[in-house]
Structure 1
Amino acid sequence: MTQQFTPIEISDLKLDLFNPRLPKSKQGKDEKTVIEFMLLEAATLELMLAIAENDFFAGELLLVVKDETDEGKYIVIEGNRRLTAVKLLHNLELTSVKKIATKEIVDNAKFKPTELPCLVFEDKNKILKYLGFRHITGIKSWRLLEKARYLFELRNSNDFQNLSFLDASKEIAKMIGSTSAYVKRLLISFELYKVVEDEAFYQIDGLNDTRFFLNYFTDGLNKENIRNFIKVNLNSENPLENIDNEHLKKLTHWWFEKSEGQSRVLGDSEGLKLLDKVIGHEDALIAFERGLNIYEAYEITDDFDIQFENRIKETLKSIEKAHSLSPKVKKFYTKFREDIQTIKTTVEIIETSFNIKTK
């Protein structure tokens, strides 16, 4: 691997317009678009303030490659947020957002670096390998969609594009210090995301690449019924070969379309468990598609033992919470005694049922 350390004038450094951290809607645009995204989404103001107060830390090298289309210029592959912060210290006209905050920092800045320490690489792919460890499994982890976008770019780089999907997943996993199963799910999830994105997010109100939770797909792929519902094969060289696009659309609507501020199914561990169970039960799925909520549909799956345990535990938590509040109550409500008696009577009935079934 060939690289060279050199300080480079900031006027010769260019932001990566295809940075994996950028949403697709921002990629390939101009420098101003990238800078404004960095200001709004990437805590750049804090970094700008730190550099203005303490100067640029020389140990935080920018990783760059020569711009083949612009002689004497370099594209920053790693360090775009740092470059953005320094550029703004010299030119406030680069942004139309956060103008007041950035101006205050610039007006009080003790340091305004004019050149930055860079490590120049001949090949962008060499930097991508480093980023894999740093941002997928390392100390500066990206958000999930950023990780998946990066892995997809890496998968299609010269080092891996000639390998089969399964072999590429194994080799990338070794490179970044992860597991092939995790890499596979991220790559497949990103492919699913691209389908949804290509369909304009199925016109779901408010849904776009900045509000999409990729973990719904990555975690959902761990559930057999959800996986089979959209016909994804994790162990195939072409996992989406038989994808059911209509079911993928339904799944996306259930997770992301909101009615009265609430989606039909949450993408957390409980929501995925409920949905996986419902999808795996024909009658429950039909009822859910006809309008039952996920809890009502889940009850049709006949998993009454688990439901009973969950209800008891939920009730216990509520009672414990009420107990913690009781010393602070100034006046108990009118039907308090009646409700407490009903609870006692119900508990006795449940206990009687338990005793009968355990004899």
Structure 2
Amino acid sequence: MAKFPYPETLNTSELSFDPENPRFPREISAGAENVILEKMIRDERVAEIMQSIGVQGYFEGEPLLVVQASGSNKYYVVEGNRRLAALKLLNGELETPKRLKTIFSIIEDAAEKPTKVPCIVFSERKDILRYLGFRHITGIKAWGPLAKARYLKQLREDVYAEEPEELQLKMLAKEIGSRSDYVGTMLTGLELYDKAKDSEFFNLPGITEKGIEFTLLTTAIGYRNISDYLGLESKVDTQCENVEDDKLKDVFSWIYSQDQQGNTIVSDSRKLKDLAAVVANQDAVSNLKKKGDLNEAFLMTEGPQVAFTQMLEAAKKKLNLAYETLPSVSDVDKSHEDEIQSIFDLSKSIRSVIKGRLDDE
């Protein structure tokens, strides 16, 4: 790593947001400043930083980490974009979205509106990336899993692109103090996520980028049956070259797609074990696609005959429980009678089919 340079003071007007910020999708981080700004104000607690700077001034012990933009006198802030947003809003370099009255109030009340800020200027972005790995993955200001995965991808492409893949994963693991299989799984999960995102998440209902819990995806591909179903060679198949779109759509629909009540088929990470069993059985997969009930599909994993027996046993237990509860039910009505008649008729139909098959033997 290059020798750590000393801080110097730069005008905030010379500083721009990082177009490769791992915290945001590429289309936001490299997009228009007003889009970046609204994202930061909404999700990144910029207002709190503005209040702090407005009262106390800028803390010299937290210099921004920057790299000079190629062919210009501008600098990209690789570490400290929220602070940059707060500074530019306070000193008027960025226009405040009109509907955000709280921000206007903070600006009006601010005693300090710095136009200069301490920065550490690095010669190469990759030197800052290594520092970020320590600070935000192994350090005290941890990023979320998706931001970590984006960071690992950047570091891989900027620093280790020329190395064999196995060595890439080992070196990335050393950079963040982790294991190479963890790094590989994160990168594989990100590749799957990006594939789905490029397909607009297959237009599945209830899926939003913000609502996706990335760790569910990386945990899912840790199950061999699920990675096989997707077409992955393993959970560290970072290229995902053989992944089929329809299979990826299936997995996203089961894990992330929501019904009108906001429920998903895989309700939590503990259910991924059941999903892994389901995807290994075609009858179970067909049932899951048709019914959307993971518990029912899981019954099919041992074959239709076992599932049928278990379903009959479960139905009998519930009917027994209803019979035992009946004496304590003070009011019964016609709807109860209709429901029981429906169950009776359905039972007769099932019995008739079974009897017909036995008679044919």
Name the TM-score, length of structure 1 as normaliser.
0.79
Query: Over residues 236-267 of structure 1, what are the superposed CA-to-partner deviations in whole Å (9 max), with x where a residue is unaligned?
Result: 76652322322111111222222223444236
The equivalent of 1:200 in structure 2 is 200
Q: What is the aligned partner in structure 1 of residue 268 from structure 2?
A: 268
SS in 2 for 1:163: coil
Matching residue of 1:21:
23
Q: What is the aligned partner in structure 1 of residue 146 from structure 2?
A: 145
Q: Measured at CA, do residues 291 and 301 of structure 1 come closer, stay the same or move farther in structure 2, by a change above 3 Å?
A: same
- Per-residue deviation, 1:271: 2.3
Amino acid in the other structure paired with 1:60: E
1:231 maps to 231
The answer to whether the 8 Å contact 1:278/1:284 transfers is yes
Give 2:336's aligned residue: none
Instruction: Kindly indicate whether the alpha-carbon contact (under 8 Å) linking 1:266 and 1:272 is maintained by their aligned counterparts in 2.
Output: yes
**Equivalent residues in 2 for 1:215-254 (5 A)?**
215-234=215-234, 239-254=239-254
Q: How far has the Cα of 1:183 moved from its partner?
A: 0.6
* Counterpart secondary structure, 1:57: coil
How many Å apart are 1:205 and its aligned residue?
A: 3.8
Shift in alpha-carbon separation, 1:116–1:26, aligned structure 2, 3 A = same
Paired residue secondary structure (2:30): coil
Q: Which residue of 1 aligns with 2:319?
A: none
Counterpart residue identity of residue 234, structure 1: S
Match of residue 328 from structure 2: 338
Query: CA separation of 1:202/1:269 partners in 2, compared to 1, >3 Å: closer, same or farther?
Result: same
Give runs of aligned pairs for residues 275-294 of structure 1, distance below 5 A: 275-294=275-294
1:220: Cα distance to partner? 0.6
Deviates more, 1:119-128 or 1:233-242: 233-242
Q: Distance in 2 between matches of 1:113 and 1:217?
A: 43
96-105 vs 202-211, which moves further: 202-211
Q: Which residue of structure 2 aligns with residue 48 of structure 1?
A: 50
Given that residues 39 and 98 in structure 1 are in contact (C-alpha distance below 8 angstroms), is that contact kept between their aligned partners in structure 2?
no
Which runs of 4 or more aligned residues in structure 1 lie more than 4 Å from their structure 2 counterparts after TM superposition?
Answer: 235-239
| Per-residue deviation, 1:223 | 1.1
Q: Matched residues in 1 for 2:236 and 2:47: separation? A: 45
Give the direction of change, closer, same or farther, for the CA distance of 1:119–1:30 in structure 2 (3 Å limit). Answer: same
Q: Which residue of 2 aligns with 1:350?
A: none
List aligned pairs for 1:109-258, cutoff 5 A: 109-157=110-158, 159-205=159-205, 207-234=207-234, 239-258=239-258
State the Cα deviation string for residues 92-125 of structure 1 (Å, max 9, x = none). Answer: 8523165311111111112222211111100111
CA distance in 2, matches of 1:149, 1:167: 19
Q: 5+ residue gaps in structure 1?
A: 312-334, 340-359
Find the residue that maps to 2:7 and give its secondary structure: strand
Judge which range, 295-304 or 282-291, deviates more. Answer: 295-304
Unaligned runs of 5+ in 2: 315-324, 330-361
Larger-gyration structure (1/2): 2
CA distance in 2, matches of 1:214, 1:257: 14
Judged with a 3 Å threshold, the aligned counterparts in structure 2 of structure 1 residues 127 and 38 are, in CA distance, closer, same or farther, namely same
Assess if the C-alpha contact under 8 Å between 1:35 and 1:94 holds in 2: no
Kept in 1, the 8 Å contact 2:187–2:236? The answer is no
Structure-2 residue corresponding to 1:69? 71
**Distance (Å, rounded) in 2 between the aligned partners of 1:56 and 1:168:** 39
Q: Please list the CA deviations of residues 135-192 of structure 1 after superposition, one character each: whole Å capped at 9, or x if unmatched.
A: 12221111221111111111111x2001122211110110111111111011011111
How big is the alpha-carbon RMSD for the aligned residues of Structure 1 and Structure 2?
Answer: 2.5
How far apart, in 2, do the equivalents of 1:337 and 1:58 lie? Answer: 76
Q: State how far apart, in whole Å, the 2-side matches of 1:254 and 1:108 are.
A: 49
User: Does structure 2 retain, via aligned residues, the 8 Å contact 1:13–1:74?
Assistant: yes
> For 1:117 and 1:282, how far apart are their aligned partners in 2?
61
If the length of structure 2 is used for normalisation, what is the TM-score? 0.79
* Partner-residue secondary structure (3-state), 2:28: coil
| Structure 1 SS opposite 2:193 | helix
8 A Cα contact 1:92 1:99, kept in partner? no
Alpha-carbon distance in 2 for matches of 1:129, 1:267: 37
Q: Structure 2: how far apart are the matches of 1:199 and 1:183?
A: 25
1:105 maps to 106
Letter in 2 for 1:63: L
Once the two structures are aligned, what percentage of the paired residues are identical? 33
Q: Indicate the residue corresponding to 1:324 in structure 2.
A: none
Mapped to 1, the partners of 2:76 and 2:94 lie a distance apart of 21
Q: 1:238 to 1:21 in 2, by over 3 A?
A: closer
Q: Hey, what's the Cα distance between the residues in 2 that align with 1:295 and 1:205? A: 21
Alpha-carbon shift at residue 86 of structure 1 (Å): 1.0
Conserved? CA contact 1:264–1:293, under 8 Å? no
Q: Distance in 1 between matches of 2:189 and 2:35?
A: 27
Q: Is the 8 A contact 2:19 2:26 kept in 1?
A: no
1:265–1:275 Cα contact (<8 Å) kept:
no
- Output one character per residue of 1:41-95: Cα deviation in whole Å (capped at 9) or x when no partner: 1111111111112221111111001122322x21111000011011111118523
Secondary structure of 2:27 counterpart: coil
Give the secondary structure class of the aligned counterpart of 1:259: coil
Aligned AA for 1:44? V
State the aligned residue count: 309
The aligned counterpart of 2:97 is 96
